[in-house]
Structure 1
Amino acid sequence: MEQNQNIDRITNLDFIRGIAVLGILVMNAITFVLPKSAYYNPSSAGTNNILDWIFVALSQIFVAEKMMGLFSLLFGASIVLFIESQKRRDRRHPHTRSIWRNVILLIVGSIHASIWFGDVLIVYALCAPVVLLLYRMNKYFILILGVFFIHYPVIFSPLFQGFFDSQGNLIMTGMVKDIVMSSQSEASKIGLGEIWFANKTMTGEVFGIFILIDAFGRALGMMLIGVFLYRSNILKGIYSNSFYKKIAIAGFTIGIPLATYSLIWGITENYSPSIALIYSNPHRIANLPLVLGYVGLLTILNTKLPLQFVTRIRAVGKMALTNYLTQTLISTVIFTIIFSNLILSRSELMLYVVVIWTLQICWSKYWLDHFQYGPFEWIWRKLTYLNAKGGNT
C-alpha cells in the first residue's frame, strides 16, 4: 500500500480496476457500432473475415464477462472498504451513508442508461443493499452464496431455451402463453428478437427476462466473491507471488478450456437459435475461474511491471467511474452524432478501442497529477457527504 494524502490506498485494487475498465470497452464497443445481436451472436454482424473471427475468439475467451466480472468483484470489495473507512473515522451511520452513496449511483446509472442501453451501474446500485446485508456473515457462507448466484443462470437457461423453437420464435404454451396473455406489450410476443438477429428491432420480453436474471446473478455473485477475497486479504496483494501464481495457473487452466468449448459449440452450430441460451453455459462456468486467474496474474504484474506503466494503469483505476462514463459519452458522440451511418468490422473497431485506451491512460495520470479525484468521482463524493462535515475517505 502507498500513502495518498494521509490515506492508505490499496494500489493492487487500483491496478486491477484500471485493467478492468479498459478491458470492458472491448466488448462494450461492439454495442456502440454494431447491432445488439453482435454481442450475443457474433455471427450476426461484424464478422467479415478471418481477422474478425480471431478477435471474436480472443474476446470471447479472455474478455467477455471477465473484465466485467473483475469490475463487479472490486465493487463488492469497495462496499466493505467504504464501511471500514467510515468506521475508522468514527463517522455516524456508515451503512446509511453507503445506501445513500448507491442511491446516487442509481441516479447516475439511470441517466447513463438513457444514453446507452448497456449500463451496469443500475445493477450494481440495486445489488449493493444485498451485499450490505450479507457482508458480515461467515466469509465462507458468502463465498458459497457468490458461487451460487454466478451459476444459477446455468440452471435456468435450459428452461428458458425450451420457450423458443429452432427459429427463435416463442412457443406459445404454458408459462410463455401466460406471460403473453397477461402483457399488453408487443415485446411479449417476440422471440429472441434483436438480441440474436441483426434484422430485428425489438427485444423479446421472455429473452429479456433471462438476460436480467443472468446480469443480476453474475453481478451479485461476483460482488460477494469480492467481499470474500477482500476479507481474506487476497485482494490487498499482501501474499507471496507464488500464492498468486497458483491462483492464476489454476484459474486459467480451468477457465480457458471451458470458455473455448463454449466458443466452439456456438461456431459449429452456426449460432443456431436452438442453442441461444445454453451454448454459453460452459462460458458461464468458466467466468469465475478466469476472473480469479486475472486477480492472481494482475496482482503479480502490479509489482513486477515498470512503475511508470503501473502508475498510469492505477490512475485509470482511480478514475474508473469517470473513464467508464466517458467511454460511453465519447462513443455516443462519435458513432451516433458525428458518424451515425458508420459501419465497422470487429477488427476495425479494435483500432478505435486502442485509441480510447491511449487517451484514458494519458489523461487519467495527468488529471490526478493536478487533482485528488476524477471529475465524476469528485461529484459522487460531494453528493455522498452532502450533509456531512469534512468527508475525507
Structure 2
Amino acid sequence: MANGPRRRAPVAALPSTILPPSSWRTLALRRTGVRMSSSATPRIGQLDYIRGIAVMGILLANLPAFALPAAAYFSPLAWGGHQGADRIAWFVNFVAVEGKMRGLFSMLFGASMLLVIDRAEAAGRSGLRVHLTRMAVLFAIGLVHLYLIWWGDILAHYALVGAIACLFIRLPTRLLLLFSVLFLLLDLLMSGGVAAMLYGATPPSADMLEEIRNAFGIPPRPALIAELTAYRGTLAQAAAYRWSHAGSPLDELWIFGLQTLSAMLLGMAAYRAGFLTGQWSRRAYARVAAIALGVTLPLYALIGAHSIASGFDYRWIFTASVILGPAIRPVTTLGYAALALLTFRADRGASARIAAAGRVAFSNYLGTSIVMLLLFTGLHQFGRWPRASLYLLAPVMWGIMLAWSPWWVDRFAYGPMEWLWRSLARGRWEPMRVPPAPG
C-alpha cells in the first residue's frame, strides 16, 4: 500500500513513506558496520542498510502515484493500462512491493524514536522534548511536501503518529508486541466493517460508496480529466489542485493511524529485541526470512490473482488493499528485514552504498518527489506513460541514489534535509562538514 489516494476515503493507506534518518555527525570506521560521530555516538550500520533498501523500494511503490491519477495506485482500471505488461507490472508490485516498504519505514521509524530518545537522555536532555520537537518540525516539512510537491506525503502523518507513539516508549518488549497486535486487529476490525457493508445487505451511505468507488475503482471521467489537466499544467496549477483535493493529515490519522502506530510499536519491539540491529544469529535471520516470506508472498500472489480474476472489482480491491494485505504485512516486513540483514556486509561494496543511501533517506525521499514533479508535471508527462514503462525509471533513480549518497556522507555530517530537520528542531544551524579524523 507506503503507501494510495488521499481522497478522504473511509479507509485507505497511502503509498509513500519515510523514516527520518539519524542525524548524528559521523566518521567512518571501516570494516565495522558501525559509524562513530565526533562525540563517540555509534551509528548502527544495519539500520542504515535496511533504510536504504526501503527508500529504494518505496520508489517502486510510488511510481504509479507520481505519474498517474491517484485512483490508479490501487486499481489499474483507473488509468495506465491493465493488460499485458501493465497487468504484470501491477501484479508484481502488489505482491512484492506495495505496502511492504512502508512497513519497513514504519518499523524503522519506531526504532529510531527509541534511539533518539535514549541518546538524548544519555546526554542529559529531555528525550520527550527532543522527540516532540522533531515531530513538530517533521509535521511542518510534511505539509510543504504534501501541498507543494506531492499528494502522497507520509511525513506529516508520521509526525502525528510519532507524537502518539511516544506514550509507549517505556513499555517492555512483550507489551510493545501486544499493543502492536491489538492496534492492528482494531484497524482490521474497522476496515472489515466497511467491507461487510460493501458485500452485505446493508450498503454504506451514498457518499461513502462514491468515495470508495473513486478511490479503489474508476473515478468519474470529469474527475479524471480535471486531475490530468491540473498535473499536466503549470506547477502552480498542480499545487492549487493539491490544496483543494489532497485532504488533511488529520483525516489520514483517523483513516490509518492505528495501522501506522501498530507498525511503529513493532519496530520498537524489534529494536529492543536486537532483531533490527543484527544481534541475532544468521541462522535465526535465515529462518525468519524463509518462513515469513515463504508463507506471505504466496498469499499475496493469491490475493493479486483474485483481484485480476474479479476484473479488479472495486470491492475486492478495497478488501485486498486495506484488510487482507495489511493483515499479513507485518510478517512480510519482518521477513524482508531479516533477508536484508542476511545480505548486509559492513562497509563493503553494495552494502556500503545502500547504507549511505539509508543515512540520507530523508533527502533521497524528498529528492525523488521533486524529480518526479519536474518530470511528470514540469514536462507535462503526467498520465502519458503506460504503467509498465514507469518502472524503467527505477534503475535510473537508484543509480543516482547510490552515486551521490556515498559521496555526500564522506564529506558531510548529514544529508541536506537531515541537516535542515536537525537544525530547525534544535533552533540553531548545525555544522555540516565531517570533522577530520584524528591523527
TM-score (norm 2): 0.78
Find 2:421's aligned residue among 376, 380, 389: 380
For 1:314, the aligned partner's letter is A
Checking the alignment, whether the CA contact within 8 Å between 2:198 and 2:315 is kept in structure 1 is yes
Residue 233 (structure 1) shift: 1.1
Query: Is residue 2:336 matched to residue 1:294?
Result: yes
Corresponding residue for 2:218?
197
Corresponding residue for 2:36?
4
Say which structure is richer in helix.
1
Corresponding residue for 1:113?
146
Residue 191 (structure 1) shift: 5.0
Residue 97 (structure 1) shift: 1.4
Checking the alignment, whether the CA contact within 8 Å between 1:25 and 1:353 is kept in structure 2 is yes
Find 1:252's aligned residue among 293, 298, 308: 293
Residues 323 and 128 of structure 1: CA distance in aligned 2, closer, same or farther (over 3 Å) = same
Alignment of 1:151-230 (within 5 A): 151-164=185-198, 171=203, 176=205, 190=211, 192-200=213-221, 201=223, 213=254, 215-230=256-271
Checking the alignment, whether the CA contact within 8 Å between 2:300 and 2:325 is kept in structure 1 is yes
- Matched residue SS, 2:410: helix
Residues 8 and 269 of structure 1: CA distance in aligned 2, closer, same or farther (over 3 Å) = same
Query: Is residue 2:285 matched to residue 1:285?
Result: no
For 2:164, the aligned partner's letter is V
Checking the alignment, whether the CA contact within 8 Å between 2:77 and 2:312 is kept in structure 1 is yes
* Aligned equivalents of 1:204, 1:243: Cα separation in 2: 46
Residue 56 (structure 1) shift: 1.6
* Aligned equivalents of 2:169, 2:46: Cα separation in 1: 21
Residue 339 (structure 1) shift: 2.7
- Matched residue SS, 1:370: coil
- Matched residue SS, 2:392: helix
Query: Is residue 2:40 matched to residue 1:19?
Result: no
Residues 328 and 218 of structure 1: CA distance in aligned 2, closer, same or farther (over 3 Å) = same
Checking the alignment, whether the CA contact within 8 Å between 1:160 and 1:277 is kept in structure 2 is no
- Matched residue SS, 2:318: coil
Specify every segment of 5 or more residues in structure 1 that has no aligned partner in the other structure, as ranges: 181-186
Specify every segment of 5 or more residues in structure 2 that has no aligned partner in the other structure, as ranges: 1-32, 225-243, 435-439
CA offsets, 1:283-315, max 9 Å, x none?
Answer: 2222111101011100111138x8111111001
| Identity in percent | 28
CA offsets, 1:306-345, max 9 Å, x none?
Answer: 8111111001000011011011111001100113455112
Give RMSD over aligned pairs: 3.0
Query: Is residue 2:355 matched to residue 1:322?
Result: no
- Matched residue SS, 1:192: helix
Residue 31 (structure 1) shift: 0.9
Alignment of 1:351-366 (within 5 A): 351-366=392-407
Aligned residues: 375
* Aligned equivalents of 1:291, 1:146: Cα separation in 2: 14
* Aligned equivalents of 1:42, 1:48: Cα separation in 2: 5
Find 2:181's aligned residue among 140, 147, 156: 147
Checking the alignment, whether the CA contact within 8 Å between 1:254 and 1:286 is kept in structure 2 is no
- Matched residue SS, 2:35: strand
**Runs of 4+ residues deviating >6 angstroms:** 202-205, 208-211, 387-392
Find 1:28's aligned residue among 62, 67, 73: 62
